[in-house]
Chains A and B, each alone.
Chain A
Amino acid sequence: SQTIHQWPATLVQPVGSPLSLECTVEGTSNPNLYWYRQAAGRGLQLLFYSVGIGQISSEVPQNLSASRPQDRQFILSSKKLLLSDSGFYLCAWSVSGIIETQYFGPGTRLLVL
């Protein structure tokens, strides 16, 4: 069966510091991968998605970036964090198809101080 991992689970970082969040998927090949952010009272916002290694699409302009160095690894990064980057970051995976369903990881809680 498929499993999705995210780490760290929680992170407290000062403004201006770098960020690296990691997501890995097990039990499937060539998944589509997604990064979402959930800020308080703002629902789920799609940040990036990837359909393959090195293929990243950005949904919103921001100081975050994403990379996919391996088939089942998706990394969210920032060179300098802003206060507004605080939130709950969720990674998700799916397999391409007509009835494509996204499955979510446990999330990373980021607090920027």
Chain B
Amino acid sequence: AQSVTQLGSHVSVSEGALVLLRCNYSSSVPPYLFWYVQYPNQGLQLLLKYTSAATLVKGINGFEAEFKKSETSFHLTKPSAHMSDAAEYFCAVKGDYKLSFGAGTTVTVRA
């Protein structure tokens, strides 16, 4: 069965600093991986997805993620944090019929 683990339940960054959110996956087959963002009291919004076409995936709002098979990782980054990036971020892996989500990482941005 496929699963993901997000390292760090809470990340605090300064405005303008690098955002790095860690996600490691476990899968017996080539995985399809996703990052979603959730703002308070809203649904999840797709940031980006890895579908094996390219290891570096660019998403919305300046985010990108790199698939590293040797490290079984799919970390999410953004070069320069903005106050509007404060939210909860979820990594997910596609299974047979459903997504398996990580526990989520809450990002706070300091002015």
Q: Tell me if A44 is interfacial: C-beta within 8 Å of chain B.
A: yes
Chain B 40-78 interface 0/1 with A at a Cβ cutoff of 8 Å (1 = within):
011111100101000000000000000000000000000
Task: Name the B residues within 8 Å of A59 (CB-CB).
Answer: 98
Is the pair B90, A44 in contact by a Cβ cutoff of 8 Å?
A: yes
Task: Name the A residues within 8 Å of B7 (CB-CB).
Answer: none
Task: Name the B residues within 8 Å of A6 (CB-CB).
Answer: 43
Is the pair B101, A43 in contact by a Cβ cutoff of 8 Å?
A: yes
Is the pair B45, A104 in contact by a Cβ cutoff of 8 Å?
A: yes
Task: Name the B residues within 8 Å of A104 (CB-CB).
Answer: 36, 43-45
Say yes or no: A106-B98 contact (C-beta < 8 A), given A43-B104, A44-B90, A101-B49.
no
Interface residue tally for chain A (C-beta within 8 Å): 23
Is the pair A90, B49 in contact by a Cβ cutoff of 8 Å?
A: no
Which residue of A is nearest B34, CB measured? A101
How many contacting A-B pairs (Cβ < 8 A)?
Answer: 44
Chain A 69-113 interface 0/1 with B at a Cβ cutoff of 8 Å (1 = within):
000000000000000000010101000000111111111010000
Interface residue tally for chain B (C-beta within 8 Å): 20
Q: How far is the CA of A92 from the CA of B51 in the complex (A)?
A: 20
Is the pair A49, B41 in contact by a Cβ cutoff of 8 Å?
A: no
Q: Tell me if A56 is interfacial: C-beta within 8 Å of chain B.
A: no
Q: How far is the CA of A99 from the CA of B102 in the complex (A)?
A: 19
Q: Tell me if A53 is interfacial: C-beta within 8 Å of chain B.
A: no
**Which of A43, A44, A49, A103 interacts with B97 by CB under 8 Å?**
A49
Q: How far is the CA of A82 from the CA of B45 in the complex (A)?
A: 29
7 additional A-B pairs beyond A59-B98, A102-B99, beta carbons within 8 Å, are: A34-B98, A43-B90, A43-B101, A90-B44, A101-B46, A106-B42, A109-B41
